[in-house]
Amino acid sequence: MKSLLRIFLLITLTAFRPADTKLTIFLCGDSTLADKRPADNPETGWGMVLPEYFDTTAVQIQNHAVNGRSTKSFITEGRWQKVVSQVKKGDWVFIQFGHNDQKAADTTRSAPAQTLYRQNLTRFVNETRAKGGNPLLITPVMRRKFDEKGAFVDQHGEYPQVVKDVAKELKVPIIDLHTKSQVVIEKHGVEGSKALFMHYGGGIYPRAPKGIEDNTHFSRYGASVMASLVVEGIMELPIDLKNVVKKSAFTNKYVYELPKYYTPVFRKDTFNIIRYGAKADGLTINTKAINQAIDACHTAGGGTVLVPAGLWLTGPIILKNNVNLHIAKSALLQFSRNHDDYPIVVTTWEGQESYRCQAPIWGVDLTNIGITGEGVLDGGGDVWRAIKREKQTNSQWAALIKSGGVVSEKNDLWFPSEKSKKGNELPNAGRILNGVRPTQTELESYKDFLRPNMISLTRCKNVLLEGVTFQNSPAWTMHPLLCDHVSIRNVTVKNQWYAQNSDALDLESCRNGIVEGCTFDTGDDGITIKSGRDEQGRKRGIPTENFIIKDCKVYHAHGGFVIGSEMSGGVRNLFVSNCTFMGSDVGLRFKTARGRGGVVEDIYVTDVNMTEIPGEAILFDMYYAAKDPVPQEGESNELPTIKAEPLNEGTPQFRNFYIKNIICQGAETAILVRGLPEMSIKNINIENAVIEANKGLVCVEGENINLKNVTLLTKDKTVMQVQNSKNVVLDGITYGNDKDVLLKVMGNRSEGVRLLNTDAGKVKKDIELGIGVKEKVVSKK
């Protein structure tokens, strides 16, 4: 009886269940958008990625596309009938065919462009509309083909134009994926566009033991790019479908607009360094054996070079194409502390061409490289770095002197050697400025000063750094320069807090990538974005752009997330989210100076938590002077005289920052904006923030500065100060109850400072302070 009752209740509930209110998008087409089986990996249809770009609470996507289908076979096999029978009022049907309709020799698929192809498209449109649905036509996506001169070749003949003609005749919305995809393929170039399609060596995927060269079907990266073009086309049309496109966590940005990046994969073959004579005895220098293993791996077509568990001593390692250097769990790769093991090479230093010692890990002009694993790489940095007296206790300083080395005349700096001391005291030692190069004799006389970055990768494509720990770097730890498609995941960097120039990560003039799940604890900046310095950086003119930085933790560092100061080639289109900064001198640190030039713009930050920040939680500063952000005892951070200088190519610019959902417990200053009289900092938007600090907002030479729903819990009795700034809107500011001054506006060039929706005691209405204000105080009294 109970079983019958359960069945009755189930039938009753099902009968009265509300109809599915979700909008449905039906995808009809061929292999370029079809779902794939696991065995098809890495082939990916753009329809497989499309759901990631829609709000799935409001829309569902049914992918009916199938490999090899044309408009004709899609109908004759009954696939179209299956789609149209399900269409309900308001649904959308995406229709993209053409690749297989062209196959004149195949009578099961051939559909001539001007006759059957046109008729079938017309049928799809009319029958969709008859059911109350909305047809959307999409022109065929491009294949990849270039001629011998590198010019792109269109292989689609009349078919794209027929789609356009049908769309015009029947007044159907259309996405010209044919044109959009060609633009993208050409932009990637002859070699770069291979990443969009399936170009893989042998021994990587089971389906292709001898490799794949397929210029029709997409990699996961290519499918993501093509799906984003489809959504871009939707957003350009006057249709309601754009209302269900998925918004990202970033201000005014959709998910499809976020950067795309290619992650390299490697052959399964493994080359154990032991086979090449390496010994984990703590005595043998394994430089030759490790580099021989890398050479053999490269010659064989790529794979993994394995550093197994143990302590391995080595000099510089030279990476090669298609090689993944894998540091196994419980492996320590210890780089030599002997300066003679590191030849002097031409590279860069702090954004300028320079001679330095070769990096412990070195790669130039490479494709598909990786450093992965759970092991540790130690750069031996203590034999390279000078150390400041103020950053040591008395006992530490005494021990340092006892260890050897030399001390400066003022007894305020310790150097590992006389050569190190000489280089530190020479201006621009090792730099190549205005074409003038130091002689080899000069370089040798201060070689110990030419400390290398730990990982130097220059003009490399498809880079993966994953899982490993880098520690004790001589200078910058990870330095990708002019690299494309960089993936840095779950990497740990540990350097001494007093290790100057030991930035954890410096992305310089790099494009497209992700920094995810990393943990940094270092003596200089944490996550750092650069693009060259001064005239050399401007001449290079390559910005760092299109990066996602998320789920990272930074402990001690000069800054948690940093842009500059070497940003002369520009920085743009960065997306930072879900990061935590604990004890970094500054949280969000954006720094530059006169002479740099360059434009930093379109920077998006959301969901950042900070604790115990000695300096500013959020800092925009155009007066960077290569000093620590928090003065040591006896130092000062006084500004130079603030006076206007003529505008020129060396005038830097900060603009279009969108920052929201910030929490900071403890800082010296909550928000500091400090622009130049001749070039204000523009379009800074900070929303939904709670910051506990000694000082609140200090804004000097800012323009279009917008704070909304910001809580400033300050010790200073003055919550906000604005000087010589324009169009500053302070909307919904919350503050402590014991403040004397809510807002102080100063300077005879302050204009349009507005206080909105803020309880300022007896101030009952919005306040606007206009031009000519020398000083105006809005107080609670």
**Which residues does the annotation mark as catalytic?**
31, 213, 217
Q: Which amino acid is at 423?
A: G
Coil, strand, or helix at residue 561?
strand
As a whole number of angstroms, the distance between CA 179 and CA 199 comes to 23
As a whole number of angstroms, the distance between CA 115 and CA 125 comes to 16
Selection from 601, 592, 749, 578 nearest residue 673 by Cα: 592
Selection from 754, 750, 748, 745 nearest residue 777 by Cα: 745
- Residue 167 tokens, joined: 């769309």
Selection from 421, 364, 434, 44 nearest residue 200 by Cα: 44
Burial class from Cβ neighbours inside 10 Å (0-12, 13-18, 19+) for residue 253 reads middle
Report angle CA 393, 635, 698 to the nearest 5 degrees.
125
Four-point Cα dihedral 246, 248, 254, 259, nearest 10? -120
Q: What one-character DSSP code corresponds to residue 2? A: H
As a whole number of angstroms, the distance between CA 555 and CA 190 comes to 43
C-alpha to C-alpha distances, 771 to 153, 591, 648, 745, 746, nearest whole angstrom: 59, 28, 27, 11, 10
As a whole number of angstroms, the distance between CA 358 and CA 314 comes to 13
- Give DSSP secondary structure letters for 12-76: HHHHTSPPP-SEEEEEEE-TTT----GGGTT-B-HHHHGGGGB-TTTEEEEE---TT--HHHHHH
- Residue 584 tokens, joined: 């970094």
As a whole number of angstroms, the distance between CA 576 and CA 554 comes to 13
- Give DSSP secondary structure letters for 95-116: EE--TTTT-TT-TTT---IIII
Selection from 730, 743, 690, 696 nearest residue 716 by Cα: 696
Report angle CA 346, 536, 571 to the nearest 5 degrees.
110
Spatial contact of 69 and 108, defined as CB atoms under 8 Å apart: no
- Residue 769 tokens, joined: 């302070």
- Residue 397 tokens, joined: 């300083």
- Residue 552 tokens, joined: 């990272």
C-alpha to C-alpha distances, 289 to 305, 307, 686, nearest whole angstrom: 11, 11, 53
Spatial contact of 613 and 586, defined as CB atoms under 8 Å apart: yes
Instruction: Evaluate the omega torsion of the peptide bond into residue 42 and state whether it is cis, within 30 degrees of 0.
Output: yes
**734-735 vs 212-218, strand pairing mode:** unpaired
387 Cβ neighbours under 8 A, 6+ residues apart: 400, 413, 414, 498
As a whole number of angstroms, the distance between CA 141 and CA 338 comes to 56
Q: What one-character DSSP code corresponds to residue 429? A: T
Coil, strand, or helix at residue 178?
helix
